[in-house]
Structure formats: structure tokens, C-alpha cells
Amino acid sequence: MAIALQIKGLRKVYDNGFEALKGIDLEVTEGDFFALLGPNGAGKSTTIGIVSSLVKKTAGDVHVFGHSIQTDLAAAKREIGVVPQEFNFSNFETVWDIVVNQAGYYGLNRAVAGERAEKYLKKLGLWDKRDVASRMLSGGMKRRLMIARALIHEPRLLILDEPTAGVDIELRRSMWEFLTEINRSGTTIILTTHYLEEAESLCRHIAIIDGGNIVENTSMKALLRQLQKEVFILDTPEVITPDLVVEGFDTRYIDEHMFELVLKKGSSLNEVFAALNKQGLVISSMRNKANRLEELFVGLLNAK
Amino acid sequence: MTLAEQWVAFYTIVRKEIRRFLRIWMQTLLPPAITMSLYFVIFGALIGSRIGQMGGFTYMEFVVPGLIMMSVITNAYSNVVSSFFGAKFQRFVEEILVSPMSNNTVLWGFVIGGVARGLLVGLIVTLLSLFFTSLHIQHVGVTIAIVLMTSIMFSLAGFINAVFANNFDDVSIVPVFVLTPLTYLGGVFYSIDLLPDFWAGVSRLNPMLYIVNAFRYGVLGVSDVNVTTAFLMVGGFTIAAYAYCMYLLSSGTRLRQ
Ligand SMILES: Nc1ncnc2c1ncn2[C@@H]1O[C@H](COP(=O)(O)OP(=O)(O)O)[C@@H](O)[C@H]1O
Ligand SMILES: [Mg+2]
């Protein structure tokens, strides 16, 4: 499988001195449905901005299907379709003109542009609105207009920045279905979101970004598994060794009076103590290990 | 992108630019037509008949070339500055910035859009002037060349203005406070031979003087300045403006964060 997007050591310091990206690495394989999840201000839009050349990188490398944005930008741009977070089309142009002109910017002649425009406007439910000035569209339609525009040159990589922000539940579902369909037909998709639920139902791989750093990069399954457990730190007055075993639970030795124990969500602390009692191990105190990822998620979920 | 694809992209911008100024013709084509007709009536017909000859021509004949050129300059400039700034302001310039077309394609697309409006307004004003006087173009090549070069030069200048503009005031500052006064003082209404030596010398520092006179030379066959100098100057400014525009695009100044 080709690598659709490869990001290495990417840093961004804005003109005002703010460091929005602190050296991130990311790899997305062809055909993937990838989520970049993170709270507001994490650096998601900055990352997408750099990949689509609207933001200048401070350091690092980006390759799109093997084309460096540094040395082979035009080839990289052809592979990408971007749906930005903010509306960025002319208010006075019609839906049709916006999409067909964009095709022109990619060098597609008007005949091809017209066919493609019809195909994508129909798929996205905008065909009836083709002669309407874009400012007359609802928020959800504007978002879909940007998706049609991003697909008009049939890029292999589609990047959507918070595509469902401000889109109601009903339309969100149909947008998800549409994205799943084009992903199935071979288009690699990356979307950013701060809704865990959205990433969960759509994406196969996920990276989590916070404060300009990638804090997690894994498959969705592994991430969910990881979130299904809780880690405790237990202190004992007795002397333990690294080969300590507590039946039925994963543990990790810290020092001779301290160890970690993993509790899967759904099992109870009573079971932990039953097992410890059986071994005759005395516990003097116990605390929850602060897990950065979990804290982040609690934050994300509360932010909803 | 292949050359053919670049051409499609270029054509797309030009077409869009032309459709834009035609759609808003009440703001783009009508005002210069009205203003210039008033100039023709007042300066040419009413006051001009009392002024008598200027440079060997009736006053009307004398002012017409300068007024045509003034319309070309302000309209070429205004078209590019307002269109490109509008694209920046509403952020749809990003449609162009994310596409693979070359900087040359982008720049010439907007410049030719400006040239098209400059020439169209120039043509409208010329046709209106025919109600008041007759024009017998003396040097067709010079006339066409200076109009084209000037409209390119001011389209490029409008592009630079748009890149740096932060609001709509910044878009109208240059046409109102720089272009119009310089053109008025650039010998549209008088021959600098009429000025005291000192002011004639000062006038020679005004680039508009060369442009207006080169055009007047093309139409009437007379000029206050050396026409070759005028062409060299316009050519020099055009090349410098072009180089600067390309630098702005490739560095992403004010366009990419
Ligand atoms: N043009 C800019 N100048 C300075 N700081 C910026 C600029 N754009 C974004 N930032 C800052 O960079 C950080 C990351 O922003 P962004 O990438 O938009 O985050 P996200 O999309 O994850 O919400 C934020 O703290 C934001 O305030
Ligand atoms: Mg964002």
C-alpha cells in the first residue's frame, strides 16, 4: 500500500511567535479512513493548512503520495482535495460556477468539468441548487458545496477539517454515508474532529493531537480497547519482586513496595481485592494513575 | 501541469474576471462613461471653446487622449485591486492557492482581467468622445502599444496593492489619492510648455506625464516628452512590478500564513 500522507518533524511557529505544532510525525496509508482528533486549538487546522499549502511550515517534511510539498508542490496539490473548516467561496457566485471554476484551476476543460460537476452535485444533493448564489444556501449545503468542490479533480486524498461542525444530526448521517462510500471506492480520507463519536463510527485509524503534539497514533480498535481499562497504583508494606503475579489481572512492577494493576472496564474492585486476599498480599493504599489520554478524552467529552 | 492545463486555468480566471466586471457594470463601466462625458461637455465643449488652441489642436482634441488614458489606467488598476482583494477578504483566493496552477498563470489571469476592463472602458470613452470631436489616429502601433503596456503595468500595480490591503479603504486610497492627482498633473488638461520652467521640471518627474504624452503622440502626433523615453519608462516599471508580484506570490506574502 502506498503512503498517502507522510508528515515528519513538522513544526509551525506563527508570526506572533506562537508554536502551534511542536514537531509532529504522522503517516496515513492509502485507502485509510483516518481521524485527527483533538480539542480546539490543538493544531489540527494548522496541520491541514500546511499540507494544503495555505500555511507555511517552519520545519519538517510533508509528502503526499510521495510528492514533497517542498520540491514537488504542484504534484502534491493534485493529489489533495481540501474541505476547510471555514467557508471560503465567493458569496456571489452560483454553486455551478464555484465547482466548475475550481475544475478549471486544476486544468480540466469545461466539458469534463461539467460532467464531474453534475455527478458530484447530484451525489451531494445540490443539483437543484446549481443556479443559486452560494450565499443563499443553508450551512449544511455550504459544507456539501465545499465537498463537491474538493472532489472535482478526483483527488486520491480527501481532507476534511471539522466537516460536521454546525451540521444537524440528520445531515451528518448522510454525510458520513457519503464519505464511507467514496472511501470504499478508494479515496483516502482524513478528517479532523473534536467529536470522539464521529471518529469512532467512521475511522479505522486515529491520531490524537493536543497542544501541538501527537499524543496517540493507533488503530481505532486499539484505542477503544485502551480506553476500556483503568490503571491503579497500589502500595504494599510487604516486599514484592518483579515476577509478581495477581491472578486475572495485568500488573507492572514499580519498586519493591509499589506496583501497577490494570482493571478492565466492567470488572469490579471487589474482584481485585478477592484476588489479592487469596494471595495474602496486604494493600496499604491505592490511587488512580492519571492517564493523559483519558484526561484528554474526559476533556473532549465534557467539551461537547 | 501541462501547458494545455495551465492554459485552461488561465482562461478560467480571465473568464471569471471579465464576467465579474460585466455583472457589476453599474459600478465598473457606467461611472467612467458618465464622468468622462461630463469632462467632454464641460472642458471640451463649454470651457474649451474659450481656451482656443493647445499644442496646435482644439482644446477638445487635446484633452481627449489624456482622458481616455486616465480611464484605462484607473480601470485596469481598480479591477485587479478590488477583485483580488475581494478574493482575499472572502477567502476564496484559497481556491486558487490550493490548486496546482503556476504563479504566472494566477498573475496573468488577473492582469489580463484588468487589461480587459481597462481596454473596454477605454473603448467606451473613445466612442463617447466621437460625439464631441473626431479622432484621426496618427500612429496606430504606438497607440496600441502604449495602451497595452500601460494597462498591464497598472494591473500589476493593482495586484500589489491588493496583496497588502487590509480593508476596503486600502483598496481605494491609491486610485483616489495617487493615480487621479498624478494624472491630472500629468498633462491631461495642458501642455507643460505652458508651465514656468520650475513646474515643468517638476512635472517631468511624474510618470503619468510620459504615459499621457506617449498616447497623445500616438493619436495626435504631438508630445511634450520623448516618446522613446516614455516607452522605456513604462517598460521598466512593468518589468519591476511583474518581478515584485512574482516574488509576492512565491513567498506567499500576506497570502499564506
Ligand atoms: N494565524 C495565526 N497566528 C497565530 N496563532 C494562530 C494562528 N492560527 C492559529 N493559531 C493558534 O494556533 C493554535 C492551533 O490552532 P488550530 O490549528 O486552528 O487548532 P485546531 O484546528 O486544532 O482547533 C491555536 O492556539 C491558535 O490560536
Ligand atoms: Mg480547526
The domains found in chain A, sorted by start residue, are 3-225 (3.40.50.300), 229-303 (3.30.70.1560)
Q: Write the DSSP assignment of A46-104 as a string of letters.
A: HHHHHHTTSS--SEEEEEETTEETTT-HHHHHHHEEEE-SS--S-SSSBHHHHHHHHHH
Query: Which ligand 1 atom sits nearest the alpha carbon of residue A49?
Result: 17
Question: Which atom of ligand 1 approaches the CA of A162 most closely?
Answer: 21
Q: Is A46 in the pocket of ligand 1 (CB under 6 A)?
A: yes
For A138-202, the DSSP string reads -HHHHHHHHHHHHHTT--SEEEEESTTTT--HHHHHHHHHHHHHHHHTT-EEEEEES-HHHHHHH
Q: In the numeric block, which cell numbers belong to residue B166?
A: 487590509
Residues of A whose CB is below 8 A from B12: 101, 104-105
Per-residue pLDDT, A302 = 55
Q: What is the pLDDT of residues A62-82, one digit of tens each?
A: 999 999 999 999 999 999 999
Q: How far apart are CA A30 and CA A205, in angstroms?
A: 12
- Residue A136: count of CB within 10 angstroms of its CB: 12
Mutate to test the interface with B, among A77, A105, A108, A146 (most CBs of B within 10 A): A105
Q: Is the per-residue pLDDT at A171 higher than 90?
A: no
Q: Which residues of chain B have pLDDT under 50?
A: none
pLDDT at A16: 95
Q: Residue A29: beta bridge partners?
A: A3
Give the closest residue to A22 by CA, choosing from A73, A51, A59, A64.
A59
Query: Does the interface predicted TM-score (ipTM) exceed 0.85?
Result: yes
User: Where do the structural domains in chain B lie, given as residue ranges?
Assistant: 3-251
Given CB atoms, is A77 within the 8 Å cutoff of chain B?
A: yes
Q: Is the CB of A18 under 6 A from ligand 1?
A: yes
Q: What is the mean pLDDT of residues A81-90?
A: 94
pLDDT digits (tens, 9 = 90+) for A256-301: 899 988 888 778 888 888 888 888 888 998 888 766 566 666 655 5
Give the CA count within 13 Å in the CB-facing half-sphere of A121.
20
pTM: predicted TM-score of the whole model, two decimal places: 0.87
Contact (Cβ atoms closer than 8 angstroms) between residue B220 and residue B226: no
Which is higher by pLDDT, A222 or B215?
B215
Q: pLDDT band at residue A304, thresholds of 50, 70 and 90?
A: very low
Using CA of residue A247, residue A253, residue A257, residue A262, what is the dihedral sign?
A: negative
At A52 the pLDDT is: 95
What is the per-residue pLDDT for A290? 63
CB within 8 Å: A91 and B90:
yes
Question: Taking 50 as the threshold, does the pLDDT of residue A9 lie above it?
Answer: yes
- What angle (nearest 5°) sits at the alpha carbon of residue A71, between those of residues A65 and A77? 50
What are the chain B neighbours of A91 within 8 Å (beta carbons)? 90
Q: Give pLDDT, residue A299.
A: 59
Strands A213-219 and A205-210: antiparallel
Contact status, residue B245 vs residue B160, Cβ threshold 8 Å: yes
